[in-house]
Amino acid sequence: MVQIRPIKPDESELARRLIYTVAKHVFNDPLPLEDIMAHFDARGILEEMSDIQRNYFESGGTFLVMTDEEEIIGTGAIRKLKSNICELKRLWLLPQYHGKGLGYRMMQELLSFAREKGYERVRLETDPVYQKRAVEFYKRLGFNEIPISNATDDEDILMELAL
């Protein structure tokens, strides 16, 4: 049975591995997973996950995992940007679970959390080339693209939803 719950302290490494696993699939990266993880870890890509408690839970946010029979199959998080604006982070779901409404369920949990915390807007960054499905998903939820100053065509896009 699929469930959504806050991440446990000892699950951050499993969540990090899941994120890299899904990203490898999304970005069609031919390198072995361990090489991808080492490369991006050296660049600090998932740095905030080294202390999820401090960077999410103690900072006006949350970090959720989706499980199927205790196996982590997805992640999603909210963290504070400003007093009334939060950021959607780390929304990843194993490919074999796509198309079953599970991403939508996770988003509803995260948006409910954001509303309960009093946030007025949710922002996110995503890749418009490799993550076209994600961009369309966010648009269906009501997110709109907002400009990023000095952005080039090959950079992520910024999207926002008024709560």
Q: What is the mean pLDDT of each run of 10 residues along the chain (163 residues)?
A: 96 95 91 92 91 95 96 97 95 95 97 98 91 93 85 76 97
What are the boundaries of each domain within the chain? 2-121
What pLDDT was estimated at residue 152? 57
Query: Is domain 2-121 in CATH 3.40.50.880, yes or no?
Result: no
Bridging pattern class, strands 85-93 and 121-126: parallel
Contacts of 124 (CB under 8 A, 6+ apart): 87, 88, 89, 91, 138, 143, 158, 159, 160
Single out the residue of 62, 97, 96 nearest to residue 76, CA to CA.
62
What pLDDT was estimated at residue 130? 85
- Whether the Cβ atoms of residue 122 and residue 104 lie closer than 8 Å to each other: no
What pLDDT was estimated at residue 158? 92
Contacts of 14 (CB under 8 A, 6+ apart): 72
